[in-house]
Structure 1
Amino acid sequence: MTERIDGHTLLIGLMAYPIRHSMSPTMHNNAFAKLGLNYAYLAFEIDNKKLPSAIESIRTLDMRGSNVSMPNKQKVLPLLDKLDPAAEMCGAVNTIVNDDGILTGYTTDGIGFMKSLDDEGINIRGHKMTLAGAGGAGTAIAVQAALDGVSEMSIFNLHDAEWENAKHNVDLINERTSCHATLHELEDRDDFKKEIQDSYIYTDATGVGMKPLEDKTLVDDPSWLRKDLIVFDTVYAPRTTKLMKVAQEAGVEHVFNGLGMMLEQGAAAFKLWTGEDMPVDYIRHILFDEDAAAQK
């Protein structure tokens, strides 16, 4: 790292809270080094309160851009100059690109979700998905999955601040894609169980399972899960979430955390910042080897 950083190094950030667990700095800095690119990627713990001044610092410091994650993916929209069409449709941003002080927001989460499943040889197109969560990641996943050909989607959310966004997501999907989406109350446990059992894939795009809720899961009964169901938890710290443990107890064959999604959404952001393709196989080797070592 010290050999790469000089007076010409451009900074790229990650703004979220909490964020010290993130693998994104490891991913991007290793990719920069591999390709000989003069960038540095740092994580900053930024919540909604600090977000406006943090976004302005991208311009002030002439940063190349930044990732944003929970809880900032939707709050950041009015702070930007332009939105990519996909980000506008999702109403959420996870990647910002700074072009001479003009900040453009993009979303790569949905791309990362679908590509990570493709990497595992799993095709959910033409099938039904039950999705929990309608925040930034949940919205991006829902929209991209619908655009890519998922035929039916049951979206569950609490009656909280994201409920109206969930309604908007359903309307948008039904109006602009061939996917049939329905909205359900997460408080209705019987309905939640029924829809999961009727699905090809269950995806949890909430923050349940990560700190400080690492001992929690929306699905705590293994009998809800079939062995041939695909279970995908977008959380990747801890590597094995409570949901994943329940799925493993149920004998589910295909259980994933969000590490692959994180890798592929990062590759898409990397391309936006640098114009270069991330050396994905090289980075996957680093991330997954470190992940395996951490579990020993």
Structure 2
Amino acid sequence: MIDGHTKLFGLLAHPAAHSLSPLIHNTSFKVTGINGVYLAFDVTSDGLPDSLAAMRAMNIGGFNLSMPLKTDVIPLLDEITPRAERLQAVNTVINRDGRLVGDSTDGQGWVDSLKQDDITIDEKVVTVLGSGGAGRAIISAAVDAGAQKVYVFKRTNDIFESRKEQLESWSDVVEVLPYEDESMIAQAFDESQIVANSTNVGMAGDQSTPVSKAVISHLTPQHIVTDAIYFPLETPFIRAAKQQGSHTYNGIGMLVNQAAGSFLEWTGQRMPVQPVIEAVHTAVQQRQQS
């Protein structure tokens, strides 16, 4: 029940109404009995300074942010964590007695979603398709989790060289290669135990896969295949990987576990991940049917 002691948390995003974050966190508050409430606020980059000032003035516990606010917020914060510094992105702001600290829990969410099934990244070879926000978070977390090698495939455009330099500077285990070289992707799949799609190929009504059927044929029952997409629940890539016998994971695990990272920092308590995943799965299923 909301009362005078209820702590407010929320999402700053534009648009914000479609977000599953309120469902995730309010389910968590209900299950844990924490007196908190989580709301979605439609905020643009222009409104961000005022929102942060309100967070301080009203002692709001914390916020999540979506792009482009993840980068716009950095100059407005008092401190950011090393992983947020590396990514130059913040998805979580914690209010520590008026001192606003930014962190990035996205990549750790991917690691933790696999850890739920006792899958570790340590000493594994990982292939990541794409190097956008989700991709960089996964790459960073894979390095921190002890990956033996991380192959990254990125489109060769005008930022290819600068992105390659950035990612490879994080660790000598990271190698950035051209997405257009299918033989190289196939070779990376052969060497990898884990393959992560971080592109938006296969989202919503898109029936494409991020790589060709010939490359997908290199997946085996020994592979772990993840997709950052959770709408639809089963992307064409996940469906194709299943047909190869691979162990597959959609984006719900990463979505909920990155939220669990925020929840822990805000409340000091662990999120009840399993009931939250079930609630999100049901909500996405309902959206698919509508």
Task: Report if aligned partners of 2:189, 2:219 keep a CA contact under 8 Å in 1.
Answer: no
Which amino acid in 2 is paired with 1:196?
F
The Cα shift of 1:30 comes to 1.2
Cross-structure match for 1:203: 196
Unaligned runs of 5+ in 1: 175-179
Mark the CA change 1:97 to 1:153 in structure 2 (over 3 Å): closer, same or farther.
Answer: same
Aligned residue in 2 for 1:168: 166
Which consecutive residues of structure 2, in runs of 5 or more, have no partner in the other structure?
none
Identity %: 35
Deviations 1:242-266 (A, max 9, x none): 3223323x42321111111122221
| Partner in structure 2 of residue 41 of structure 1 | 38
Hey, what's the Cα distance between the residues in 1 that align with 2:93 and 2:80?
A: 9
Corresponding residue for residue 84 of structure 2: 87
- The amino acid of 1:270's aligned partner reads F
Please give the alpha-carbon distance, in whole angstroms, between the structure 1 residues aligned to 2:279 and 2:75.
Answer: 36
Whether the 8 Å contact between 2:186 and 2:215 is mirrored in structure 1 is no
Tell me the alpha carbon deviations over residues 181-225 of structure 1, each in whole angstroms, 9 at most, x when there is no partner: 1111223344333323432221112333335x7444322426524
Relative to the length of structure 1, the TM-score reads 0.83
Matched, 1:142 2:139: yes
Measure, in 2, the Cα distance between the counterparts of 1:196 and 1:19.
36
Give the 3-state SS of the residue equivalent to 1:268 in structure 2: helix
Give CA-to-partner distance per residue, 1:111-161, whole Å, 9 cap, x none: 211111121232332121111232332222212211211100111223255
Question: Does residue 221 of structure 1 match 2:221?
Answer: no
- Which residue matches 2:233? 239
CA contact (8 A) 1:94 1:106 kept: yes
1:9 matched to 2:2? The reply is no
The residue identity in structure 2 corresponding to 1:195 is A
Whichever residue aligns with residue 239 of structure 2, its letter is K
Q: Residue 112 of structure 2 aligns with which residue?
A: 115
Partner of 1:271: 264
Q: What is the one-letter code of the residue matched to 2:85?
A: E
CA shift, 1:57, in A, is: 4.3
Counterpart CA distance in 2 for 1:29 and 1:163 is: 42
- Residue deviations 1:46-77, cap 9 Å, x none? 45565455444433543211112334333432
2:277 is matched with 284
Write the distance in 1 (CA, Å) between the matches of 2:158 and 2:252: 27
Contact 1:230–1:255 (CA under 8 A) maintained in structure 2: yes
Once the two structures are overlaid, the 10-residue window that deviates more, 163-172 or 52-61, is 52-61
Distance apart, 1:169 and its partner CA: 2.1
Q: Which moved more, 1:5-14 or 1:27-36?
A: 5-14
Residues of 2 paired with 1:215 and 1:59: CA distance? 45
Q: Using the TM superposition, give the Cα deviation of residue 292 of structure 1 relative to its aligned residue in structure 2, in angstroms.
A: 6.0
Q: Secondary structure at the match of 1:27?
A: helix
Which of 247, 252, 261 is 1:259 aligned to?
252
The answer for the alignment partner of 2:121 in structure 1 is 124
TM-score (norm 2): 0.85
Q: 1-side partners of 2:58 and 2:164: how far apart? A: 36
Confirm or deny: 8 A CA contact 1:220 1:243 kept in the other structure: no
The aligned counterpart of 2:26 is: 29
- The answer to whether the aligner puts 1:181 opposite 2:178 as a matched pair is no
Higher mean Cα deviation, 141-150 or 32-41? 32-41
Separation in 2 of the partners of 1:48 and 1:164?
25
* Cα distance change, pair 164–62 in 1 and its aligned pair in 2 (3 A): farther
Aligned length: 286
- Pick closer, same or farther for the CA change 1:49–1:201 going to 2, 3 Å: farther
